A and B are shown apart, each in its own frame.
Chain A
Amino acid sequence: MTDSETIAVAMSGGVDSSAVAAMLCAEGRNVIGLTMQLWNQRRLAGHPGMPESVQGRCCSIDDVYDARRVAETLGIPYYVVNHEERFERDVVRPFVEEYLAGRTPIPCSLCNNHLKFDQLLIVARQIGADHVATGHYAQVAFDEQRHRWLLKRPVDRSKDQTYFLFGLTQEQLSRTLFPLGGMTKPEVRELARRCGLVVADKPDSQEICFVPGGDYKSFLEAYLNEQGSAPTRISGDRISGEMISTKMLAGEMVTTDGKVIGEHAGVHNFTVGQRKGLGVATGSPLYVIQIKNDTKQVVVGKNEELYSRTLHACRVNLIATDEVREPMRVAVKIRHRHEPAPAIIEAAGPDDVLVTFDEPQRAITPGQAAVFYDGDIVVGGGWM
């Protein structure tokens, strides 16, 4: 990449991506700010269980306003691009479907794969920017020996977002910049303050951008309610006409030895490893061990029963290598806030990998990702 090349910065209106734009401007790069409009926050407002109004969230007018103000401060061209349709198709619907099937989805990974590093990159290239820079905490570098682009963990481990980026292809990585990979969050805020950015002290966003207040159950209800009353325009949908009520997700609560001990109001209320809110009282603490999609049964048991030594990762994307030829020693992370655990990975099919941990791991959760690390390097990852 040459210094005169144009870089598109994916600006969310938050401090991280704003700091990225400021840094690249300070380096004298030719910068264009882009914000993706992904979800109309007013769309489900007023549906049962949803707040009447939504403020200060991703895709809210406030965030676009902030991003625009930052772009003005920096004197860079700035545009909002509408990707609502793709976002609903590739992120929101799969998110809903996963919960309906008793799994626990990660929409951020899907958004990265299908929107930020796909649609946005296409727009960026179309308007003359060959690279996209984002405010993710991760590092990308070309490795001469392997002749591959590598994704690495950032200097600020507490902010590591590589877990959500394991799906990036070599082509995508070759066109991506993560300027914050070498910085800590306090340094980023300090930089934003020094540059006089209005968002320097804006709180971090914590939750899923399209789910107000983090209440995913209300979101599911409201979305299904809306879909039931207004047929969607999106074709090829997998949410069939009959699947429009969460009432159909209710079923039995059973123990690991098959004893029915109660009923539950819907598999979407549960995640593997969950202890609270099971609605059954027994002598010893109970945890969700498994959610059976076909029978809608929620299997509960003791904490010990949550541990497992192996897992199967499918739809695997490899970054540091083109294939897993022989068993490989790695560390595997099975949820965002999980310390990578030593394990061996081996090929189990064209896109599948078998992971065998040295020590059993707690709550391997369908719908989440297993991401393989070799030290700081992301080897790849797949879906559980």
Chain B
Amino acid sequence: MPRRVYLDNNATTPVLPEVLEAMRPYFGERFGNASSIHHHGQDTRAAVERARESVAALLGCRASEIVFTSGGTEADNLAIFGLVREGDHVIASTIEHHAVLNACKHLGKDKDKDEKARCEVTYIPVDGRGLVDPADVKRAIRPNTKLITIMFANNETGVLQPVAEIGKIAAEADIYFHTDAVQAAGKIAIDVNDIGCDLLTISGHKVHGPQGVGALYIRKGTDLEPMLYGGSHERARRAGTENVPGIVGLGKAAEFAMEGFKIGEDTKTATMRDRLERELLEIEATGLNGSDLNQERAPRVPNTTNIYFDGIEGESLVIALDLKGLAVSTGAACSAGAIEPSHVLTAMGLRQDRAKASIRFSLGKQNTAEDVDFALGLIPETVARLRELSPVWARKVVSR
């Protein structure tokens, strides 16, 4: 078995051993339905509520303001469809995750070809660094604007959006503000009151918890319609028997995320990311996505870097590296599994070929300096081989 190094932690993270241990009893002997009144139910109810407190602590909110969902996508959808009604206006950005983007697209769809669209959505563009300008958000506000949904950290570039400023603008205009913090949680400290958001999404598997669980922070007093109808679970905001092992796992992962900040794990991650980035940028004809022409960089989460390698297809580089044991990613996979150019990078103004030549590297708690060495040992030679066999690169070399 060849060595395998995983640098795609923005896609998903490995479950921490301690998280797995915490979950294990809830797949077995502690099986109760958290809504049952007997001992078994009380046992799992207690576990769910402890997890809720841990998640609330991570976000700086009250436990009663946390609703567990099946993941980030459901939480985003609950925030959007739970609030927005016919005739409302919504403000989003062009670089949102598809969970937000496609939900907004659906809102904006004609109900019927003869009728006007249900809702109008304004998509705020980003600059070359991948940043939304809060002034643009402010200008986009209309009398019927119901919701602003702008992500906290972008999944592809790691760029942090000015959410606190947007939160202020939303509060002044008395508009609901939702932020998808799936890629920020566990990487930087989050406080919903500092951001001033009414709704915030996190996902279990991006913070070394399990897949299939997420949470939506809903500020007290926010009038949200549920999407799923059934029992009165989650204070009647999300029907369905709780995914107890998943919720317990998310709670434990939230505790470890908090612990990480205390012991300076984020700084350690940033050091590794910076070294990886610095050395990769020494390769000819490369560049960082998330910095502008003056090399000014946008603020980012500590674990992500997105780099273009001119003259290559990112798809081929990902495959070539995977075959050598290194997992990284490019763009977004379509349903068939083929890669499409990233909407985030093209929104930042990257040319199609450069967007397709871009690779995302994202580190996690499990990564070590040796992992970075491994990556740095493989990438330059692999990029060189790809370029050698690329007709595009050959033309470029000849023309120089």
Spell out A's residues near B (CB within 8 Å): 32, 35, 37, 59, 61, 64, 68, 77, 79-82, 84, 122-123, 125-128, 233
Contact = CB atoms under 8 A, between A and B. Distances in A.
A81 B389 contact: no
Interface in B371-400: 385-386, 389-391
Contacts of A77: 322-323
Given A64-B337, A80-B337, A81-B315, A122 B390 contact: yes
Interface string B311-341: 0110110011011000000000011111110
Contacts of B352: 233
Contacts of A68: 337
A123 B389 CA distance: 9
Contacts of A79: 319, 322, 337
Given A77-B323, A79-B319, A81-B315, A126 B389 contact: yes
B320 A127 contact: yes
26 contacts: A32-B323, A35-B336, A37-B336, A37-B337, A59-B336, A68-B337, A77-B322, A79-B322, A79-B337, A80-B337, A81-B316, A81-B319, A81-B339, A82-B338, A122-B389, A122-B390, A122-B391, A123-B316, A125-B389, A126-B313, A126-B320, A126-B385, A126-B389, A126-B390, A128-B323, A233-B352
A125 B312 CA distance: 13
A61 B337 CA distance: 9
Interface of B: 312-313, 315-316, 319-320, 322-323, 334-340, 352, 385-386, 389-391
A217 B249 CA distance: 56
Given A81-B315, A122-B389, A122-B391, A127 B323 contact: yes
B389 A61 contact: no
A83 to B, nearest CB: 8
Contacts, number: 55
Given A123-B313, A126-B385, A127-B320, A80 B335 contact: no
B279 to A, nearest CB: 22
Contacts of B338: 37, 80-82, 84
B58 to A, nearest CB: 37
A181 to B, nearest CB: 27
A126 B337 contact: no
A95 B283 CA distance: 41
Contacts of B339: 81-82
B397 to A, nearest CB: 16
Contact of B334 (A35, A37, A125, A128): A37
10 pairs of A and B residues whose beta carbons are closest in the complex: A37-B338, A82-B338, A80-B337, A127-B320, A64-B336, A80-B338, A126-B316, A126-B386, A127-B319, A79-B319
A115 B319 CA distance: 18
A207 to B, nearest CB: 20
A84 B336 CA distance: 12
Contact of B320 (A35, A59, A122, A128): A128
A253 to B, nearest CB: 38
A174 to B, nearest CB: 15
A130 to B, nearest CB: 10
A193 B127 CA distance: 56
